[in-house]
Amino acid sequence: MHTLRVKSLKDWRSIDAHLRQLNTAKCTAPRSSLIKDCQEGAACVGNSLQANVLDISKAKGKLRLDAFISTQLPNISRAKAQEAVKMGMVQVNGAKVCKPGAQLKAGDQVNVLDIPEPPQLQAEPESIPLDILHEDDDLMVVNKPAGMVVHISHGHYHGTLVNALLYHCGLSGLSVGDVPSGSTIDPSSISDRIKSVDEGEDEDEDNLKNAASLPGLLSQPPGILRPGIVHRLDKGTSGLLVVAKREEAHRKLCDQFKARTVEREYISILLGTPDKGHDKVSTNIDRDHNDRKRMAALPYGGVRGRLAISNYFVEEVLAAGGAAMVRWKLETGRTHQIRVHSKHIGHPLLGDDTYGGGVAAAAVAVARGRASKLQDVRNLVAALNRPALHARTLGFQHPTSGQRLRFAVDPPEDFHVAVNCLRNLIN
């Protein structure tokens, strides 16, 4: 059991910085050594860690239970801390607390039971309908529905595109331990080397370069199992994905993403209407220091982050300028690129709570103080229940025949309903 005591917050910043440094370094030292290393920023007793923090009333913001645990125990991620709290493995002042967002105050004592390692990832075939636009011996082009996660990861064990692909291709279940890395989905070579690329809204070219240039050597990202996946879309994004069925096809498709020869076009609904009918957005993109689940736009060409370039075109002004249907063509593929760039230009995606496009922002942009329209806007966002983004067009060269292929698919019904509602919110 880990015991964490909240006394005051005078030394909070130095303790926090030290422990975050240990976590970032992904320390692999034995537990006793790690506890010893922590002593510079926090007092350790046996297997317990005492973090001395002073005067919480002077701290900015609130001190959440899950954030405190993950910060004080470098081997426990925020997600694992949340899971532990929900499972009843955490006590505050001797009482079980099951809310990860519970607030701590000066003097609180937090007891954390030893958290077991998560179970080995398993990818089982599941009979899930697929909207397949094209399939041959080398690849498949799939129209992913909004709400479907692309690959297996902790917290997403079922209902993913990978589960559906395994079933469609007649493959048995897979686990991370069965194979050295992520795989193509050719039944004849499923036991051969496995390959995957790091996450991105469309895959990051730097990661694709590694996937294509190191065949059989690129290791599976920890906590992820995604055979055949060449690129990905966020859970809330609908639209087109290409999936490799053979190793050579996977490599050649990755080469095309890396060379930026893949045509990718998206359609979206933004809050407000950009001043320019079309423009190029050029920034760097990197993790947001304030929230690791988000990305942030940074100065173009700076030392931090990776270059990201998007071109947008306003296709239709909606709700008398309170919203707009906007088409995007990507020159790069960074994590959350369109979501970040739409926020950067001051017009976040409708329904994107993470980047400022939730119901409150929609009420301001669309209803604009008209009480009669507020409920309409709330209903619109609730019905959509996702960022209004759809991968409409995908074009690439076939990895075997060399033929140029281009696919297009209209947005799903929820997107069209949202557009029609906004068209009717003129008066």
Is 178 among the catalytic positions? no
Residue 5's pLDDT is what?
53
Per residue in 223-282, pLDDT (tens digit) is 445 567 889 899 999 999 999 988 899 999 999 999 999 999 999 999 999 999 999 999
Per residue in 279-290, pLDDT (tens digit) is 999 999 999 988
pTM for the whole thing?
0.69
Domain boundaries, the chain: 2-112, 122-259, 265-423
Overall residue count recorded for the chain in this entry: 427
Higher pLDDT, 106 or 128: 128
pLDDT at 1 > cutoff 90:
no
DSSP per-residue letters across 166-217: HHHTT---EEGGGSSS-----GGGTTS--------SS--HHHHHHHHHSTTT
How many helical (H) and strand (E) elements, i.e. helices and strands, does the chain have?
11, 20
Q: Domain 2-112 sits in which CATH superfamily? A: RNA-binding S4 domain (3.10.290.10)
- Compute the distance between CA of residue 415 and CA of residue 412 in angstroms, rounded to an integer: 6
Token representation of residue 193: 């080397």
With cut-offs at 50, 70 and 90, classify the pLDDT of residue 14: very low
pLDDT at 400 > cutoff 80:
yes
Residue 148's pLDDT is what?
95
Per residue in 44-101, pLDDT (tens digit) is 333 333 333 333 444 445 688 888 888 877 777 888 888 888 888 888 888 899 999 8
* CATH T-level assignment (fold) for domain 265-423: Pseudouridine synthase (3.30.2350)
Per residue in 304-324, pLDDT (tens digit) is 999 999 999 999 999 999 999
DSSP per-residue letters across 294-326: EEEEE-TT-SSSEEEEEEEEEEEEEGGGTEEEE
Q: Of 234, 255, 286, 414, which is the active-site residue? A: 234
Across all residues in the chain, what is the average pLDDT? Answer: 77
